[in-house]
Structure 1
C-alpha cells in the first residue's frame, strides 16, 4: 500500500507543483516563499484527496482518485496578477475568488451531477479517449527537458533518458509478476533517476536546501480579498473543472468496474469544490481530480481507494516537511516523461475499450465520435486556433476535454434523442437473436424509466 501510494504521488507530483511555481514567479515571490507556496499546494492536495477517497457524509466519490491543483486556473490567475496594481495583493485576491467559486460549486454539485444521464458509452468512451490524448503532450514535453527555453531542450540526452525509462517500465510489466509488476512505474522512475546522475541531469540541491519541518500557516500571504472580476473568472474555471472531473469520474468508474452514477458524481464534485474552498485557507489553489492517475489505476489494476488515500497521506507529510517534498522533485522531467507515455496512453486505451462497446456499427455514433474527437484535439494540434476569442471564452475552449465532452453530449442528443435520427438507428442496427421491435433502444429506455 505504501509503495503503490507513493507511485501515485510520483505520477502527479509535477502537475501539483507547476501551477504554484508559475503563479508564484509571476507575483515575484522569493525562493523561500516559492517553496512555501509549493508545500502548501501539496498539503491541500492531500486534504482534498482524503475528502475524495475516504469521504465524509455525502462528500467524496470514494473512488481511487487523487486530487490536486488544477492547471485550468493558471491562465486566469496570471491574468489576475497582471491586473493587480500591488502584486502583494494578487494572491489574496486569487484566494478570495477561489473560496467563493468553491462554495458556489459545492451548492451546484447536485444539480450538475444530473447531467450523467447524457453520458452513454459513446460519450464516455470519447471523453476518456480525449483525456488520454490530451495528457500525452504533457508527457512529450517532460521528455524534452525541464526548460522549453533552454538550448538543450529536446536534446538526445533528455529523449534517451525518457526512452530508457519507458523501456524499463515495459520490461518490468512484461517479465515480472506480483509486487514488482504492480510498482513498475515507481521502479522505472528510480532507475531512470539513477541513470540520469552521470549526465548531470539530476539536481539534489532542493534536498540539501529544504527545511525538515514546515507548516503552511493560514493566510500566510494576507487575508483573502474579494474582487468581482476575479470571482467571475474563477467561477468559469470552476465550471470547466467540474466538467473535467465529471468526465474523470466516469472514466475511472469504467476502469474499476463501478460505474459512476448521479449520486457518486455529486459526492465527487462536492469533494472537489469543498477542497477548493478550503485550500486558500492554507495558501493552496483550486483542486480537481488528476486524470494522470487514472492511467496508473488502469495499468496496475490496483483499484483500492485506500491505496490512493495513502498517497494523500504522503502529500500531507510532504506539505509538512519540505525536505520530503524535495525528494520527489529530484526525479528529472525526462524520466517522468518516459513513464507518462505509459500512464497517459493507458487512459486513451481505456477509452477505446469503452468505444468498442458503444455500438460503432451505427453511423450516428461514428459521427459523434469523429466530430467530438476532432473538436477535442483542436487545442493540442492547433494551440492558436482560438486566439481571436476573448480571454474568458478561451478558458473554456482551450480545454480540449471540456469542449470535446460538450460536443459529444450535444451530438448524442441531436443524433440519438431528437427527430428521426433515433428511428434510423433502430432500422439499421442489427437485432439480437430473439429480439423484436419491442427490444429497440426506445422501448428499452422506456422500460428503464
Structure 2
C-alpha cells in the first residue's frame, strides 16, 4: 500500500509557514490552552514562600516571559538545540513541591535565590546529559510510547476536571452546579463547532469555544475583570529581581532529580508529538529537544522564571487541529513574551474562567490519551508480554492520579519521581520492556525484533511513521 502523502509540497507540514492572520490566531489558541498551566506554579510557589501580591504578579509575568523564550528556543532552534517541532515549553509542575520544600528550609528572604541557584545547576546538568539520555530511544518501541502517551492524557484529565469545578478546592462555589454546567456548555460548544465548521475555523474551535464560553460566563458572574484594572501596561522582568542566585547542595540535588524527571517526560512528549505530526523522533531530535529544555531551564532564573519543560496539553491541541507548523507555536512563544512584558495584555487572557478552560481541557487532554491508544494498536498486544507491560505501566502510572496521598510517607526526594505518574509509568514500561523483550533473548532474535544502535532507532522511526500515517492529514 502506498503511503499517504502528508503534503503536496516538498516542505514538511512542520516546516511550513502560514499567513500572518492564521499564524497569530492559531498561536493565540496555544497560549489560551496553556496559560493557566504557566501561571499556576509561580502562584503556588509565591504564596507558599510568603511573597506579596505584587511580587507574585511579577513572578507570574516572569514565568510567561521565560516560557516564551523557551518555546522559541524549542521551535526555531539554534545549532543543536531545539527539537524544531510545534512544542510549547512552560513552567514544570514537577518542581513545585521541591521548590516549596526548599523555600521552607531557606533563610527568610533567601528562598528564591536558593531555588534559582539550584535550577541553574540542574539546567546545566540536563544540557550535559542530553546526548547520552537521548540514546534511550531504542527502548521506546510502540508498546512503551503508547503506554506513556496514554498516561500523559490520563494524568492531565484530573487537571481539566479540577478546572471544571472552579480550579481552587475549598473556594466559594467550587464544584457548584453552575461551574460544572459552564464547563459542559463550553465542551458542547467545542464539539458542535467542530462538527459544523470547516477549513481554518474548524482548526481554531478551541479558541472560539474559549471566547464563547467566557462570554457565556459574564452574565453568570464567573468572569473577574479586576486583573485588568490592577495591571500595568509595561513590566520587564529585570534580571535577578529577587537577588543573586545562591547555591546550596541539598537544593541542587532536589532540582537535579526534578530535571531528570522533566527529561523523562520531555522524551515521551517529543516521541508523542513526532508521531502526531508525522515526523518521528530520532536520537538527534531527542537530544536537541532535551538541550532546549535544559538551556531554557538554566536561563529562566536569570529573568526570575523556573524550570522549563514541555506542555503535554498543547500536544492534544496539535492532534485536534492538525495544524502542524512549528512557526505557529513560535508565534505563541512571541505572544507569551509580549504577555510577560505587558501585564495588561496578560490579564485579558486571564479573563477566561477556570470552568471554561476545564470544558475545553477535557477535549484537549482526552485527545492525548486517544493518541496513545492509537499508538498501542501498532504494538503486538496479542503477545502476553506486551499486554503485561501496558497493564502494569498504566496501572502504576495512574496511582498518583487517583490517590494523591499514596506516597505521602515516602522520602521527599523519592516522592518527586513517584508523584509524577508519567515518570513512574514511563520507567516501569521501559524496565519491563527490557526484562521481557531484551534481556535473555538470543542476539539474532533481538536484532530481528528490536535491532540495535542506529538500526533500532530507524526501526522505531518506521513504526512511528506507520502509526502517524493513520492519523488524519491536515
Q: CA deviation at 1:385?
A: 1.5
Instruction: Tell me how far apart the structure 2 counterparts of residues 442 and 28 of structure 1 sit (CA, whole Å).
Output: 57
Match of 2:130 in 1: 109
Match of 2:83 in 1: 61
User: Does residue 9 of the first structure (1) align with residue 14 of the second (2)?
Assistant: no
Match of 2:224 in 1: 203
Q: Specify the SS of the correspondent of 1:288.
A: strand
Alignment of 1:72-87 (within 5 A): 72-86=94-108
Quickly say closer, same or farther: Cα 1:113–1:101, change in 2 above 3 A. same
Q: CA deviation at 1:180?
A: 1.1
Match of 1:178 in 2: 199
Alignment of 1:205-284 (within 5 A): 205-284=226-305
Q: CA deviation at 1:183?
A: 0.5
Instruction: Tell me how far apart the structure 2 counterparts of residues 70 and 246 of structure 1 sit (CA, whole Å).
Output: 14
User: Does residue 364 of the first structure (1) align with residue 385 of the second (2)?
Assistant: yes
Q: Runs of at least 4 residues of structure 1 off by over 2 A?
A: 440-449
Match of 2:67 in 1: 45
Instruction: Give the paired residue count.
Output: 432
User: Does residue 287 of the first structure (1) align with residue 308 of the second (2)?
Assistant: yes
Q: CA deviation at 1:179?
A: 1.4
Q: Specify the SS of the correspondent of 1:199.
A: coil
Q: CA deviation at 1:208?
A: 1.4
Match of 1:34 in 2: 56
Q: Write the deviation string for residues 154-188 of structure 1: whole angstroms up to 9, x where unpaired.
A: 00000000000000000011111011111100000
User: Does residue 22 of the first structure (1) align with residue 44 of the second (2)?
Assistant: yes
Q: CA deviation at 1:84?
A: 1.5
Instruction: Tell me how far apart the structure 1 counterparts of residues 231 and 279 of structure 2 sit (CA, whole Å).
Output: 42
Instruction: Tell me how far apart the structure 2 counterparts of residues 446 and 257 of structure 1 sit (CA, whole Å).
Output: 22
User: Does residue 149 of the first structure (1) align with residue 170 of the second (2)?
Assistant: yes
Question: So what's the TM-score if we normalise by structure 2?
Answer: 0.89
Q: CA deviation at 1:115?
A: 0.5
Q: CA deviation at 1:441?
A: 6.5
The answer on whether the counterparts of 2:438 and 2:446 sit within 8 Å (CA) in structure 1 is: no
Q: CA deviation at 1:417?
A: 1.3
User: Does residue 387 of the first structure (1) align with residue 408 of the second (2)?
Assistant: yes
The answer on whether the counterparts of 2:72 and 2:330 sit within 8 Å (CA) in structure 1 is: yes
Q: CA deviation at 1:146?
A: 3.1
Quickly say closer, same or farther: Cα 1:315–1:446, change in 2 above 3 A. closer
Q: Write the deviation string for residues 272-300 of structure 1: whole angstroms up to 9, x where unpaired.
A: 00000000000000000100100000000
Instruction: Tell me how far apart the structure 2 counterparts of residues 42 and 240 of structure 1 sit (CA, whole Å).
Output: 22
Which of 440, 443, 448 is equivalent to 2:448?
443
Which of 348, 370, 376 is equivalent to 2:369?
348
Instruction: Tell me how far apart the structure 1 counterparts of residues 433 and 411 of structure 2 sit (CA, whole Å).
Output: 28
Q: CA deviation at 1:379?
A: 0.4
Q: CA deviation at 1:129?
A: 0.3
Instruction: Tell me how far apart the structure 2 counterparts of residues 92 and 179 of structure 1 sit (CA, whole Å).
Output: 46
